[in-house]
Amino acid sequence: MRVMSTLKNTHRWWALFGAFAVCATAIAQSAPAWPSKNIRIVVPYAAGGPADLVARELAQVLTAELKQSVVVENMGDAMGVPALGAVARAEPDGHTLLMAAVGNVVLQPMLSKQGGADLVAKLRPVSTVSTAPHVLVTSAKLPIRSVQELVDYARANPGKVSFASAGTGGTAHLAMEMFKSLSKTDVLHVPYKGSSGSVNDLVSGQVTALFSSYPSLQGLVDKGLLRVLAATAPSQSPATKSLPLMSATLPGYDYTTWYAMYAPLATPTPLVQRIQQALNQALRQPGLVAKIEAAGTELHPGTAQEVQAWTQRDTDKWSRVIREAKIAID
């Protein structure tokens, strides 16, 4: 009897295996050939920034691995909304992708009626791409060498500590509001139209502090014009992993800026999985990892589910900051 039971279980296993094999074959056959032409990665930021760097290096690796040209198109105007629209309206064939940041898919839709919430709903996540902490920096002309010293100075001089940003509602502004709330200080937000003016005034000491990505400021830090006080989150990047953490002085202070890849909403699931597999393979290439980590960013091969988890986490985190600070940009 025991032998007969074993044989029956074996037959059932092979039947199930055969069924799964048929399903897998059907899925593979239902997905269109990919890639069958050039792939376009749309980046909602101007050329030369951290997002552009990651996208272009990734495109080179994908080009070599897929044996098909992968090009980057920068569309940085109007808060990146045109970039979201271009991909949302593209053919769902896997040949037009969007590498968007937390600011594009989480912050702007919450802050602005023109922030692209309707367009984000027409995109589907494919894979995580990268993550990086920001750094808190001050002018080297100021006698401030730690987060605690900045907090102490701000408490002793209400309204005299100023934080620059590239504009109201951006990550640098929200990071300042988080600092203000957790440190219980009265600090001033000074929004600029873009980053160049804010950095110039920071170097000269006209403003006190700034939260920013590390790669964009590393040259000025290396020249001794700016001083890095801390990172906003733990990191394994050689450029930032040894920095003090904001949370060491302000418990609960933690955020990263991240990028993820998206496709048009109607892109078939088997095709999304194929793209995800190609991205993950490229993001694990040692040469690419070393080059990107040297610039202060960590590559993060992952899944669409991780993108959704990051999105929910930061929606919860930043919505509280926005609500408490009563921030809106229109």
pLDDT per residue over 4-17, tens digit each? 444 344 444 444 44
Alpha-carbon gap, residue 311 to 262, rounded angstroms: 13
Alpha-carbon gap, residue 117 to 267, rounded angstroms: 19
Give the Cβ contact number of residue 149 at 10 Å. Answer: 15
Residues 157 and 244 in one domain: yes
Establish if 215 belongs to a structural domain.
yes
Distance of CA 312 to the CA centre of its chain: 14
CA distances 176 to 28, 42, 259, Å, are: 49, 29, 21
Give the residue, 116 or 153, on which the prediction is more confident: 153
CATH number for the domain harbouring residue 206 = 3.40.190.10
Establish if 94 belongs to a structural domain.
yes
CATH number for the domain harbouring residue 260 = 3.40.190.150
Residues 125 and 149 in one domain: no
pLDDT per residue over 69-120, tens digit each? 999 999 988 878 999 999 999 999 999 999 999 999 999 999 988 878 999 9
Residues 122 and 260 in one domain: yes
Establish if 2 belongs to a structural domain.
no
Residues 260 and 315 in one domain: yes
Establish if 9 belongs to a structural domain.
no
Confidence (pTM): 0.86
Residues 141 and 125 in one domain: no
29 has a pLDDT exceeding 60: no
Establish if 138 belongs to a structural domain.
yes
pLDDT tier at 30, thresholds 50, 70, 90: low
Angle at 56 between CA 55 and CA 58, to 5 degrees: 65
Among 249, 278, 307, the domain-final residue is: 249
Give the residue, 294 or 18, on which the prediction is more confident: 294
Among 249, 267, 285, the domain-final residue is: 249
- Please state the domain count of the chain: 2
Establish if 298 belongs to a structural domain.
yes
pLDDT at 32: 64
CA distances 261 to 15, 48, 219, 303, 309, Å, are: 38, 19, 29, 10, 14
277 has a pLDDT exceeding 70: yes
Establish if 283 belongs to a structural domain.
yes
Task: Please report how the helices 171-183 and 147-156 are oriented relative to each other, as an axis angle in degrees rounded to 10.
Answer: 70
Residues 141 and 230 in one domain: yes
174 has a pLDDT exceeding 50: yes
Residues 79 and 172 in one domain: no
Whole domain around residue 71: which residue ranges? 39-131+256-325
Q: Measured over all CA atoms, what is the biggest interatomic distance in the chain, rounded to whole angstroms?
A: 88
User: Which residues are CB-contacts of 167 (< 8 A; sequence separation ≥ 6)?
Assistant: 173, 191, 192, 193, 194, 329
pLDDT per residue over 39-52, tens digit each? 999 999 989 888 99
Establish if 20 belongs to a structural domain.
no
CA distances 177 to 35, 232, 313, Å, are: 44, 13, 18
CA distances 294 to 53, 220, 233, 287, 302, Å, are: 12, 16, 17, 11, 21
